[in-house]
Structure 1
Amino acid sequence: MSTPNAYYIPHKATWPIIGTIGLMLMLAGFANYLNGSSAGSFFMILGLMVFVLMLTGWFTLQALESETGMYNTQVGISYRMGMMWFIFSEIMFFGVFFGALWYIRNLSVPWLGEGVTKEMLHPLFDATWPTNGPEKLGGKIVDGQMTGEFEPMGAWGLPFLNTLILLSSGVTCTWAHHGLLAKNRDQLIKGLIATVVLGFLFVSFQAYEYHEAYTEMGLTLGSGVYGSTFFMLTGFHGFHVCVGAIILSVVLFRSWRGHFKPENHFAFEAAAWYWHFVDVVWLGLFIFVYLM
């Protein structure tokens, strides 16, 4: 139990270890899936289930400790600082990928298509974006043969619709927060339901977009550097949306149970901070990946 003069030290937790196991299973499964292993998809799904189990169990433990009054003001400050540093690390994470995309498009590709460099490395290389490389190894398969052609993903179909969905979810999340501050639990719950539904709808549309890319457009992870950067950026963002929607689902469940008060609701604040971060990253993706 926390007191004004004592800092609460939590007991040893096994949930971080379980979460690490889940992430490693997903990573190993994905790597094997890319290399044609039939077990890859199984381990990806198993890892995701373990990760969701970790989130549910850890959040349940935190909720019990919070609702029983085990935390004081110092602990609240620590939580906020920890969440701020976590979001900062996520900003750096996506910043590296945006930097890689900028470097490839504005420096690497033009340099490879110039003068002596082009003649020495590959005279047939065309320095245009999007590029599939000089040998055009990836792309559509016609009559069992790789054509080397693919279609870039346009911005004004599903990507634009997903942009509207994600921005709308940011509005509903803020509306729910205002309901909490005003002690309007009905508004809080309705806003969270709308946010969670919009979040999972975004992920569903992105999955359909990936299906279209692979089956109709010839746009795959093997479609040169354009394909790899496209799926790397949008895929990691989609994973973050999944995690954010799961976190908000837990917050929604806790709201149904009567948790959170205007003066004590950091779990909601942390979820909202994370969700708004996801919104902002998507705007950057939409501009630099889809529009430019």
Structure 2
Amino acid sequence: MASKQIGVLTCFIAITALAFRPCASAVPMDGGWSNGGATWYGPAKGAGSDGGACGYQGAVDQPPFSSMITAGSQSIFQDGKGCGTCYQVKCTGHESCSGSPVTVVITDLCPDATCQVEPVHFDLSGTAFGAMAKPGQADMLRNAGRLQVQYTRVACNWNGLDIAFRVDAGSNANYLAMAIEYESGDGDLRAVELKQSGAAAWAPMQRSWGAVWQYKSGSTNLQAPLSVRLTSGSGRVLVASNVIPAGWQPGRTYRSVVNFGGNHA
């Protein structure tokens, strides 16, 4: 079976005395720690904004994101190219810092001046910011407001969850837009291509905004099922065959049966 239609994505989240652990696990990609800044936004125990500039919408406070997300300065958001990338972030300069890293996913842009002080800045959800604290001291750490942190980019590993394609509610017979979610490995996408049923060639899709890609077929109706070819940020290629089925509907999510490997190549 080439695709699975889903309404709610689930995965197993380990709960410890320290914090929720996201499904993205850490395989180092950049080889070391760098210095940056961190703040937090939204509810103290929430997921920051309602979806943010990547277009993940309400998924950010549901498994597998589970509110362990962050807005990034433009240097890591990169006009949406950084959507879905994973980082480990840790703090040590405050008495409530545990010194242990937490893994977060870029889901939003932090555009204001607060995030321009350092070259790289993480505006974490309240949940993720508090997860850097010692047990029982999350509120004390959030009261600090702003921290200097260390960060490193890591490979995303969604623990067996396959890539999902959430079709935008504005899609129709000759226009398809979809948010692409849960890419393991690099986490980001360099290119997305679409192949219609019976077509010999792949057609490029354009990044609409954030993690949302679009294709306009003009006056010709799209011929489903549709296959999608993904090229990750490091150039790895993956095909989700017939992932958008005949009879697809706007607003529905379709999950492939494929994903990139967890290790960066």
Class of the TM-score when normalised by the shorter of the 2 chains: under 0.3
TM-score normalised to structure 2 length: 0.23
TM-score normalised to structure 1 length: 0.21
Determine which structure has the larger helix proportion and give its number. Answer: 1
Greater RCO, CA 8 A, separation 6+: 2
Q: Which has the larger radius of gyration?
A: 1
Determine which structure has the larger strand proportion and give its number. Answer: 2
